[in-house]
């Protein structure tokens, strides 16, 4: 039974998402040319759309009214204390408009539903399920001992850093429990912040970046945390986070849609979310929302869930999203990581791929760090990688980014039914996207990489010596001058300079 039918059966009314016909996609070139916040679409301002409000049930029957009534008995509406102090005294709206998505949300009776479906401005009407946060399986305070966290190393991310790629200029949407903007790794990472109250309304004035829990700070810093004291936890340490509080509690679907609508207006290219309906098959209710995001050239990246094999969460299990499962340091699928096969032609197996999601160390609200396990820890690794690739090729479409990441994956010993395509490799993804091979260099190389670098250097030196010997023989046969030692020294200097110039040129091309 669909969500709408369940609500009608139990309550006689249902909260619905209305997809409007007048929601034109924004061309990629226009988004890039805007260089910042896009103007809000004026779909909801059209008289025809305004007339749709009459199709919805009276405010006393709306979900938001029920929440407001409950709030009179208990002050906490599971929103942060900051927004509770700023909450408006007026009644919440019974109908919400999301102009950048071309959507409306409200409560209808059966007569109102029939009127909506017949309206010339309405494309479709779907139910409004209530996703939940995908909570970590384990969380523990810890110390950051390594220079680069294992997940970043595992995916070969430092090779892209070595090319100067950090995600600079790429705006990544982050809808979660918030993010602590006072943490050293996030102070300069959060470009803009917002909070959506229990009714799905934007809290004004905008509060300082904060976390209503701990989850959002962890995921945000994995995506774009800045290095602190020479230690790195962020995959794309130059990307700009567009972070919004949409979890937990309240009219969650209203909060999420509000966050999505706001993120679109902030010109994001990626949207990271760790939420979903537990133990749920794919839900058609989410399909139009995800398709709208993709039509705006925004790639939705979601955690698949933590309920183990034979399970998954919607909307992460929708074909339109990139669903991410979790592996551990030994490349084994985490026992908790969800996976499921569906009877459908497109994208029958989820997750789409897997990424590091066990013992992931990232920021904790305040000054510290903590280790967490969960598919929520894996999806930010993919969002960070996508940000690096977008910096490498800003004109890329989300399909190109998605396909480059998928083609870079390798299964190894991972069972296909649990890990699907396997784990992505940053270098292969870069080469798939750009067609440019990367030089074999890395930031802060491990001992093994250092040895490889020494071998490479020795090989180059040997080749240079052979060229010099050949040069000497030619010079002798032509009656060359003496003092060959000085000449050789000059040639060494010239060779090194030329090598540096060649490497610099290679970086610029990349």
Active site residues: 176, 215, 376
Take residue 508 and report the two structure tokens written for it: 């610029």
The residues with which 196 forms a beta bridge, in sequence order, are 202
Q: If we measure between CA atoms, which residue out of 136, 138, 235, 146 comes closest to residue 185? A: 235
Q: Give the number of C-alpha atoms closer than 13 A to the C-alpha of residue 398, restricted to the C-beta side.
A: 25
Cβ atoms of 109 and 13 closer than 8 Å: yes
Beta 171-176 vs 240-245: how paired, if at all?
parallel
Structure tokens that stand for 391 in this block:
């910096």
Spatial contact of 309 and 338, defined as CB atoms under 8 Å apart? yes
CA angle 276, 281, 282 (to 5 degrees): 75
Neighbours of 332 (CB within 10 A): 16
Give CB contacts under 8 A, 24+ apart, made by 89-95: 91/59, 91/65, 92/64, 92/65, 92/67, 92/68, 92/199, 92/201, 93/59, 93/64, 93/199, 93/201, 94/56, 94/57, 94/58, 94/59, 94/62, 94/64, 94/65, 95/52, 95/53, 95/56, 95/62
Query: Cβ contacts of residue 426 below 8 Å, gap of 6+?
Result: 155, 156, 157, 159, 160, 385, 388, 408
Q: Contact, 300 vs 329, CB < 8 A?
A: no
CA dihedral 220, 222, 225, 231 (to 10 degrees): 150
Contact 334, 304 (CB under 8 A): no
Residue 397 DSSP symbol: -
Q: Token pair of 359, please?
A: 């013992």
State the number of CA atoms in the 13 A half-sphere of 320 facing the CB.
21
Q: In angstroms, how far is CA 478 from the centroid of its own chain?
A: 65
């Amino acid at each position: 039974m669909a969500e709408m039918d369940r609500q009608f059966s139990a309550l006689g009314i249902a909260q619905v998402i209305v997809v409007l016909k007048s929601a034109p996609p924004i061309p990629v070139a226009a988004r890039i040319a805007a260089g910042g916040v896009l103007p809000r679409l004026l779909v909801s301002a059209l008289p025809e759309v305004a007339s749709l409000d009459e199709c919805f049930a009276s405010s006393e029957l709306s979900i938001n009214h029920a929440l407001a009534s409950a709030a009179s008995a208990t002050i906490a509406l599971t929103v942060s204390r900051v927004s509770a102090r700023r909450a408006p005294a007026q009644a919440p709206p019974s109908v919400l408009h999301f102009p950048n998505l071309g959507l409306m949300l409200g409560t209808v009776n059966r007569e109102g539903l029939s009127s909506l479906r017949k309206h010339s401005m309405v494309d479709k009407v779907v139910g409004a399920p209530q996703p939940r946060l995908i909570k970590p399986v384990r969380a523990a305070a810890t110390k950051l001992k390594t220079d680069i966290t294992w997940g970043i190393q595992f995916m070969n991310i430092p090779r892209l850093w070595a090319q100067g790629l950090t995600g600079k200029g790429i705006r990544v949407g982050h809808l979660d429990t918030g993010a602590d903007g006072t943490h050293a790794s996030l102070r300069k990472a959060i470009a803009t912040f917002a909070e959506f109250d229990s009714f799905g309304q934007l809290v004004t004035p905008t509060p300082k970046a904060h976390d209503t829990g701990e989850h959002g700070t962890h995921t945000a810093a994995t995506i774009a945390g800045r290095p602190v004291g020479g230690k790195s936890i962020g995959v794309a340490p130059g990307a700009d986070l567009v972070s919004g509080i949409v979890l937990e509690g309240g009219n969650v679907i209203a909060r999420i849609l509000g966050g999505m609508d706001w993120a679109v207006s902030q010109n994001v290219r990626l949207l990271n979310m760790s939420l979903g309906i537990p133990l749920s098959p794919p839900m058609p209710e989410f399909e139009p929302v995800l398709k709208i995001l993709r039509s705006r050239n925004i790639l939705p990246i979601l955690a698949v869930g933590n309920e183990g094999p034979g399970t998954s969460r919607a909307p992460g299990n929708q074909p339109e999203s990139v669903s991410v499962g979790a592996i551990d340091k030994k490349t084994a699928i985490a026992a908790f990581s969800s996976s499921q096969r569906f009877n459908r032609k497109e994208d029958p197996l989820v997750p789409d791929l897997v990424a590091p999601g066990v013992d992931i160390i990232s920021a904790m609200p305040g000054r510290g760090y903590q280790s967490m396990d969960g598919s929520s820890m894996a999806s930010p690794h993919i969002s960070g990688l996508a940000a690096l690739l977008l910096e490498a090729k800003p004109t890329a479409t989300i399909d190109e980014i998605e396909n480059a990441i998928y083609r870079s994956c390798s299964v190894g010993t991972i069972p296909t039914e649990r890990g699907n395509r396997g784990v992505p490799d940053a270098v292969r993804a870069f080469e798939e996207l750009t067609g440019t091979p990367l030089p074999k260099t890395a930031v802060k190389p491990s001992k093994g990489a250092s040895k490889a670098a020494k071998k490479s250097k020795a090989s180059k030196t040997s080749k240079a010596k052979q060229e010099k010997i050949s040069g000497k023989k030619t010079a002798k046969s032509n009656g060359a001058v003496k003092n060959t030692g000085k000449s050789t020294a000059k040639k060494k200097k010239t060779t090194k300079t030329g090598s540096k110039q060649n490497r610099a040129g290679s970086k610029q091309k990349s």
